[in-house]
Amino acid sequence: MEVEVHVYPFGAVVGSDDLALALTLCAVSPTIGGVLVRGEKGTAKSTTVRAHAALLPPVTVVDGCRFSCDPDAPDPSCPDGPHPPGAASHVRPVRLVELPVGAAEDRVTGALHLGKALADRTAEYEPGLLALAHRGVLYVDEVNLLHDHLVDLLLDAAAMGRSTVERDGVSVEHASRFVLVGTMNPEEGELRPQLLDRFGLAVDVTAPRDPHMRAEIVRRRMAFDADPAGFTARWADRDAEWSRRVASARELVPQVVLSDDALVSIAEVCAAFDVDGMRADLVTARTAIAHAAWHGRLEVTREDIAAAARLALPHRRRRNPFDAPTDSDDLLDELLGGDDPDPDPGPDDDPGGGESAPDDSAAETSSGSGDRSSTSLASASDPFRARVFSVDRVGRGAAGRRSRAVTTIGRTVGSRRGDSGPVHLPATIRATAFADRGRQVRRKIIEGRETNLVLLCVDASGSMAARNRMVQVKTAVLSLLLDAYRRRDTVGLVTFRGTGATVALPPTNSVDVAAARLRELPAGGRTPLAEGLIEAAATLRRHSLRDPRRRALLVVVTDGRATAGPDAVQRSLDAADVIAAQGISSVVVDSETGRFRMGLAARLAERLGAEYVPVGEVDADALTGIVRERAA
Q: What is the structure's pLDDT at 226? A: 92
The crossing angle, in degrees rounded to 10, of helices 469-486 and 511-519 is: 170
Give the whole-angstrom CA distance, residue 158 versus residue 398: 27
DSSP letter, residue 418: -
Residue 455 near residue 507, CB atoms below 8 Å:
yes
Other Cβ atoms within 10 Å of 495 Cβ, number: 27
pTM of the model: 0.63
User: If pLDDT is split at 50, 70 and 90, which confidence band does 309 have?
Assistant: very high
Say how far apart CA 488 and CA 504 lie, in whole Å.
Answer: 20
Residue 173's beta-bridge partner residues?
A: 164
Host H or E run for residue 39: strand 35-39
From the candidates 250, 279, 302, 385, give the one annotated as an active-site residue: 279
How far apart are alpha carbons 262 and 266 in whole angstroms? 6
> Reduced to 3 states, what is the DSSP secondary structure of residue 289?
helix
Q: List C-alpha distances in Å: 67 to 27, 125, 127, 354.
A: 20, 12, 8, 44
Pick from 176, 166, 171, 155: nearest CA to 75: 176
What lies within 8 Å, CB to CB, of 316 at 6+ separation is 196, 197, 273, 275, 276, 279, 280
What does pLDDT average to over the chain? 77
Question: What b-and-e string marks burial along 558-589, b requiring 16 or more CB atoms within 10 Å of the CB?
Answer: bbbbbebbeebbebbbebbeebeeeebbbbbb
Give the pLDDT of residue 34.
86
Residue 622: pLDDT band with limits 50, 70, 90 = very low
Q: What is the pLDDT of residue 53?
A: 86
Q: Could you tell me which residue, 138 or 548, shows the higher pLDDT? A: 138
Angstrom distances, CA of residue 84 to CA of 63, 125, 132, 172, 298: 12, 21, 22, 20, 36
| pLDDT for res 326 | 55
The beta strand positions in 142-200, using DSSP E, are 162-167, 170-175, 178-184
- Predicted local confidence at residue 446, as pLDDT: 60
Mean pLDDT is lowest, of 39-48, 241-250, 355-364, for 355-364
Q: What percent of the chain has pLDDT over 90?
A: 20
The CA distances from residue 103 to 15, 147, 159, 424, 572, in Å, are 32, 9, 21, 22, 46
314 vs 462 pLDDT, higher one: 314
Q: Are 333 and 368 in contact (CB under 8 A)?
A: no
The pLDDT of residue 23: 92
110 pLDDT higher than 60: yes
**How far, in Å, CA of 34 to CA of 44, rounded?**
18
Rounded CA-CA distance 263/359 in Å is 38
State what percent of residues in the chain have pLDDT above 70. 68
pLDDT at 404: 52
What is the per-residue pLDDT for 47? 86
Task: Say what the pLDDT of residue 387 is.
Answer: 41
Q: What is the mean pLDDT of residues 597-623?
A: 76
Instruction: Kindly report which listed range (23-37, 64-78, 89-103, 438-452) carries the lowest average pLDDT score.
Output: 438-452
C-alpha span between 67 and 145 (Å, rounded): 28
Give the range among 35-44, 64-73, 322-331, 498-507 with minimum mean pLDDT: 322-331
Q: Write down the pLDDT at residue 356.
A: 45
Q: How confident is the model at residue 435 (pLDDT cuts 50, 70, 90)?
A: low
Q: What is the pLDDT of residue 591?
A: 81
**pLDDT grade for 430, boundaries at 50, 70 and 90:** low
**Does 186 score more than 50 pLDDT?**
yes
- The predicted pLDDT at position 452 comes to 72
> pLDDT higher for 580 or 337?
580
**Of the ranges 75-89, 329-343, 464-478, the best mean pLDDT one:** 75-89
pLDDT confidence of 365, banded at 50, 70, 90?
A: very low
What is the separation of C-alpha 597 from the centre of its chain, rounded to a whole number of angstroms? 44
pLDDT of 383 higher than 60: no
Q: How sure is the predictor about 11, in pLDDT bands with cuts at 50, 70 and 90?
A: confident
What is the DSSP secondary structure assignment for residue 35, as one 8-state letter? E
pLDDT band, residue 511 (cuts 50/70/90): low
What's the rounded mean pLDDT across residues 19-31?
90
Q: What is the pLDDT of residue 103?
A: 77
Task: Kindly calculate the radius of gyration of the chain based on its CA atoms and give it in whole angstroms.
Answer: 29
According to the model, what pLDDT value does residue 483 have? 67
Q: Looking at 126-140, 166-180, 245-259, 368-382, which range is the least confident one? A: 368-382
Residues shown for the chain:
632
State the pLDDT at residue 277: 82
Domains and CATH numbers, the chain: 10-58+93-336 (3.40.50.300), 376-391+452-631 (3.40.50.410), 405-450 (no CATH)
Residues 514-573: tens digit of each pLDDT:
777 777 777 778 889 999 999 999 998 888 887 777 778 888 988 888 888 888 889 999
C-alpha span between 174 and 591 (Å, rounded): 58
Of 498, 583, 493, nearest in space to 536 by CA: 493
Instruction: Determine the pLDDT at residue 319.
Output: 57
Q: DSSP characters for 213-244? A: HHHHHHHHHHHHHH-HHHHHHHTHHHHHHHHH
404 vs 401, residue with greater confidence: 404
Q: What is the pLDDT of residue 203?
A: 92
Mean of pLDDT values over 99-114: 78
Query: Quick check: is 279 catalytic?
Result: yes
Q: What is the 3-state secondary structure (H, E, C) of 367-411?
A: CCCCCHHHCEECCCCCCCCECCCCCCCCECCCEEEEEEEEEEEEE
CA–CA separation, 339 vs 367, rounded Å?
42
pLDDT of residue 282: 94
Segment 64-68 shows an average pLDDT of: 91
**For range 502-513, the mean pLDDT:** 76
First-last CA distance in the chain: 83
Closest CA to 511 of 35, 36, 46, 144: 144
Whole-number Cα distances in Å, 450 to 420, 554, 605: 20, 16, 25
Task: Examine the pLDDT at 477 and tell me if it is beyond 60.
Answer: yes
- Whether a cis peptide bond, with omega within 30° of 0, leads into 82 is yes
Residue 442: which pLDDT band, with cuts at 50, 70 and 90? confident
